[in-house]
Amino acid sequence: MVTRTEEEEVNRLENQVENGGGGVWEYLCLVHKLKLRRSDMVLKHGLSILNDSKKRSALGPEEWTLYEQVAVAAMDCQSIDVAKDCIKVLQRKFPGSKRVDSLEPRVYRKPPLYLHKVGGWLRTHHHVQNPCPEPHLWDSHWICCCCRLEAMLLEARGLWSEAENAYSSLLEENPFDQVVHKRRVAMAKAQGNTSAAIDWLNKYLDIFMADHEAWRELAEIYVSLQMYKQAAFCYEELILSQPTVPLYHLAYADVLYTLGGLENLQTAKKYYASTIDLTGGKSTRALFGICLCTSAIGQLTKGRNKEDKESPELQSLSAMALEKDYKQRAPSRLSVLSSTLRSLKI
């Protein structure tokens, strides 16, 4: 996750780079490190370094990392030719890699271990990440990289079945290449084949079950398919791995609220409350959630007249907080809000 200071640093550098103030390489490194998706910028400025032979050679071995970064960014921007050129350079440098479509069974040497540790996540089919965080001289790593890039190029050109084959054969050789696993999921998603995406993702999570970003992706897919029970499980997993991230509490509460039923609603209310606590009351969605949950619980328990003993004031407080917030930031909508809240009151 990108912290605020890191984000500020990136934005500052981006500004500086855009205005020709230098620091291009630092910017690219930072984008690489944080696994951000600013492909247009990376393509533009990375290419400017690569086209300048003096600047390029000053990078030393990191030159190849830059080639990879630019290739990936180019695929993201659909500049297939640039990507092809970059991959060609890499292949010339690391000639162990053959074309992927003529892939023969080959013994790979061990991929660098850090591949398992990193590996960001891809949102859409061409949201591309950078698989190797450090420059490395290991030829075997680069041979893997070239193959992967080739497969990704196929994917970027929309040759799904070829890319699929390429990824599968890559995985046969090295079943622990997280990047390839994730690309396969992303590709299935890009084709709109959500059930396949779920299958691949589950297969991936069967091995790498501590990868919370994959859990998050799975949760979002399940939500989009209205499979809320499964999504709830994923969000529980996320809360377990990072108990202090309010986003997961909020999403979990949303899922529970959508599921409905008294027990789920009460639980949802608790998670909305924890979101409020974790965000310091800044989350408007959680405030609304409290109001909705309370009114839904009230409707369900109307006959029994069972009051919530634990926090009787929570709803009125969140309604007040909402009103205050609206007064400050959107006074014109205040009337809408108060009528909505009134309609929620039992």
Please identify, among the stretches 25-33, 109-117, 125-133, 330-338, the one whose residues bind other proteins according to the rule CB under 8 A. 109-117
Decide: is 213 part of the binding site for other proteins (CB under 8 A).
no
* Contact pick of 79, 97, 130, 274 for other proteins (by CB under 8 A): 274
> Degrees (nearest 5) of the Cα angle 186, 118, 14?
85
Decide: is 116 part of the binding site for other proteins (CB under 8 A).
yes
User: Alpha-carbon distance 2 to 250, whole Å?
Assistant: 19
Residue 127-166 contact track with other proteins, rule CB under 8 A, x = bound? -----------x-x--------------------------
Q: Whose Cβ is closer to other proteins: residue 43's or residue 103's?
A: 103
Of 37, 173, 36, 182, the closest CA to residue 97 belongs to 173
* Contact pick of 12, 109, 285, 345 for other proteins (by CB under 8 A): 109
User: Alpha-carbon distance 235 to 219, whole Å?
Assistant: 6
Q: Label residue 260 left, alpha or beta by phi (over 0 means left) and psi (-120 to 50 means alpha).
A: left
Decide: is 306 part of the binding site for other proteins (CB under 8 A).
no
Of 346, 274, 321, the closest CA to residue 337 belongs to 321
Q: 7-46: which residues touch other proteins (CB under 8 A)? A: none
Q: How many Cβ atoms from other residues are within 10 Å of residue 253's Cβ?
A: 27
Please identify, among the stretches 46-54, 66-74, 97-105, 235-243, the one whose residues bind other proteins according to the rule CB under 8 A. 235-243
Please report where in the chains the tokens 């006074």 appear, as a residue.
331
Of 240, 221, 243, the closest CA to residue 231 belongs to 221
Q: Which residues bind other proteins (CB under 8 A)?
A: 108-111, 113, 116, 138, 140, 174-176, 207-211, 233, 236-237, 239-241, 243, 267, 269-274, 276-277, 280-281, 290, 310-311, 313-314, 317-318, 320-321, 324
